[in-house]
Structures are given as C-alpha cells and as structure tokens.
Copies of this chain bind each other. A is one copy, B any other.
Amino acid sequence: TQPSSGTNRKYRLAIIPGDGIGKEVVPEGVRVLEAAAKKFGFELQLDDFDFASCDYYQKHGRMMPEDWKEQVIHHDAIFFGAVGMPAIVPDHVSLWGSLIKFRREFDQYANVRPVRLMPGVKSPLAGRKPGDIDFFVVRENTEGEYSSIGGRMYPGTDREIVTQQTVMSRTGVDRILKYAFELAQKSPKKHLTSATKSNGISITMPYWDERVKAMAKSYPDVKWDQYHIDILAAHFVLNPDRFNVVVASNLFGDILSDLGPACTGTIGIAPSGSLNPERKFPSLFEPVHGSAPDIAGQGVANPIAQIWSAAMMLDHLGEAEASGAVIAAIERVLSEDKLRTRDLGGSANTQACGKAVAAILG
C-alpha cells in the first residue's frame, strides 16, 4: 500500500480494538480521527475487526482467522487498541497469536515511541518541566530476544535445562539502525544513542555495536554514542534531557519505552507506531499500555495514548497538519483538570476526555 496523498486523500483504516480497555479507548481515537478528517478535508473508510481479541479466541479457538492477512493487507494503516486477558488466555498465546504476528508478518520492524513530558502532566522526576524531556525510542520490532527458538532438556527433573536464542540478522539490525539514523538526521539535535550490553552479552550485542559503527559512517552529520543498558536506564532517570533518538533491540527497546514514559509521568498516555517504513505492508498504531483488565469496563481509562497514536498514524499517512493539530488538542486537554482523566488527577471519564479533544478540533 502506498500512502494516499495529494488529490486522493482517502484512507482505509482497519480498526481493531482488541481486549479490555482497548474497546473503550479505540472509539475515542476514532472520534478524534473523524473530527480531524472533517476539519482537514480528508476522507476515512473505517473497517472494524473483532479478531485479535480474547473474545474472538473463545469463540474460534484462535486469535485471528486464517485469512487475517488478506482482510487487512490493503488497508492504509491498522488502528489497534490492546490485546491480552491473562485470566482467560495465556499471554504468549494471545500476544504471539495477534500483535507479534502483525509486527512480523507485516514487517513492521521500526517501533517508534515518543517520550515527551506533556503540559499538565507531572513528571516523577524532581524539577523537570514540559520541554525538558523529549526524545524517541526506536525499537527493533521483529527479531532479537523475542525468538521462538529454544526448549527444555530433562523436563521436570532436577537436571532441567532451558535455553532460548537471541537471533540478530544483518538485514534486521541494519534496517532499524538506518531508520534511527535517518530520524536523528531529520531532527534538530541530530543525535543518536545506541543501547547494548556488550560486556555481558558477549556475542549478539557486540555485533549490534559493530553495525552501529558501520552505519554511522553514512551519517557523518549525526553525532552518536552508546551505553550499556544498565547505565542507560540510570541516565533516563538522572539525565533524560541528554537524549534525542535512542535505538535499541527488541527487548531493550521494550524496557526503555516503558521506563521513558514513566519518567514523563505515566505510561498511560504513551503512543507507539509499529512501522513498515517501505510501506509494502500497513503499519500499526497502538498505545504502549496494555488491555488493563483491572479497570476495563468502567469507562475510566485514559484515551490519550490511543488518540496520540492516531496522531502518529495521521503523520504516517501524510496528514502532518492534522497530526499536529491533534497533538496540540491533546496538550490543551491535558492542561485542564476537568478534561484530564482521573489517573492524572483530573475528573473526566474516558468519553469526556475523548470528546474534549475532538471538540477542540472543531
């Protein structure tokens, strides 16, 4: 799928709410998308899908139908809520049967997660104000530590041994580094940080370092450094203003993209895009947070992560102006007590918060 653009500003979106609060926040994201379409004069075709959910699993014994790929491959993007209900379906079944399938089979290798301290949100870090923390975590999204290769020997006995492989390919490492260097090159700070742990994980991590060094040669205008993940995590807390683009493996990117948002006050508003930069397949946009079974069904979930993910999707579709307007609307809503949700000390419920963002778009 090529991004629609210019005269043909019509986008086909696959809407997949999934489980738990996904079902509550996705409609708010859609509400904002529709308001943006009206205001900025593009058209949306919204197709709802009930798969990639544990409800679907309970009815069909699988997370997605056999032809799921055909059903969504022609969409311009996938707007995803959250998946997983561990009380009903084991996590590895629900996640590997849906979210991780999308990432891998649609080659969404670049997982991009902005870490930004927003107005109206209090950082747990003393003295940090909006503007002080503003960077991207770029996470490899298709290989690395999330492999399915490994197994058990002498199962159930005292001699039991369990192994699992990390797998990195030249293709996989180089393409995410290229994406991250290009993102750094486009940004005013032109700085990239690579996260590894080469003094402990002595084969795969030095390989990643080696490829960073090689890739850096093609981006002479980008300054770069590298940290071991342990001390890097410490710097997220101590010096979050130091970062611009942080690139990391699947596991390290996962950790840093929860830790970063925690430093900006909450993971409850953090968005993410799982991108196929070549646009051969649809990219997927979803909150960093999960399905939160503990608060699902109460209408109190914070819809901002979903709405911010919608803004990232609009940018990806070529609607940069609409994307910027949605983010500006989010900032205004977050700044007002009565429009923020309760997790941020506000008094709004999910719908009221979503409606407030849509209303600002006019």
Q: Is the interface of A mostly helix, strand, loop or mixed?
A: mixed
- Output the least CB separation between A101 and chain B (Å): 13
- Output the least CB separation between A342 and chain B (Å): 16
Interface residue? A41 (CB, 8 A):
no
Check A230/B255 contact, CB under 8 A, given A124-B237, A166-B164.
yes
Residue pair B250, A262 in contact (C-beta under 8 Å): no
- Contact partner of A203 (CB less than 8 A), chosen from B150, B230, B235, B238, is B150
Produce 1/0 per residue, A135-178, CB < 8 A to B.
00000000001101011100001111111111111110000000
Interface residue? A84 (CB, 8 A):
yes
Residue pair B92, A198 in contact (C-beta under 8 Å): yes
Which parts of A229-245 form the interface with B (CB within 8 Å)?
229-231, 233-235, 237-238
Residue pair B199, A163 in contact (C-beta under 8 Å): no
Inter-chain CA distance A123–B96, complex, in Å, is: 39
Residue pair B163, A167 in contact (C-beta under 8 Å): yes
Residue pair A200, B170 in contact (C-beta under 8 Å): no
Interface residue? A202 (CB, 8 A):
yes
Inter-chain CA distance A32–B77, complex, in Å, is: 63
Inter-chain CA distance A127–B235, complex, in Å, is: 19
Residue pair B92, A199 in contact (C-beta under 8 Å): yes
Produce 1/0 per residue, A199-243, CB < 8 A to B.
111111011000000000000000000000111011101100000
Inter-chain CA distance A267–B232, complex, in Å, is: 12
Check A203/B126 contact, CB under 8 A, given A168-B162, A197-B251.
no
Residue pair A95, B199 in contact (C-beta under 8 Å): yes
Residue pair B261, A234 in contact (C-beta under 8 Å): yes
Residue pair B254, A200 in contact (C-beta under 8 Å): yes
Residues of B within 8 A of A167 (CB): 161-163
Residues of B within 8 A of A197 (CB): 251, 254
Residue pair B229, A255 in contact (C-beta under 8 Å): yes
Closest chain B residue to A260, Cβ basis: B234
Closest chain B residue to A122, Cβ basis: B126
Check A148/B263 contact, CB under 8 A, given A169-B161, A233-B233.
no
Produce 1/0 per residue, A259-271, CB < 8 A to B.
1011100110000
Binding site for B on A (CB under 8 A): 84, 91-92, 95-96, 122-127, 145-146, 148, 150-152, 157-171, 197-204, 206-207, 229-231, 233-235, 237-238, 250-251, 254-255, 257-259, 261-263, 266-267
Instruction: With A163-B168, A231-B267, A255-B255 given, name 19 new contacts (CB 8 A).
Output: A92-B198, A92-B202, A124-B237, A145-B201, A146-B200, A150-B203, A150-B204, A159-B170, A160-B169, A160-B170, A161-B169, A162-B204, A163-B167, A164-B165, A165-B165, A165-B166, A230-B259, A233-B262, A238-B266
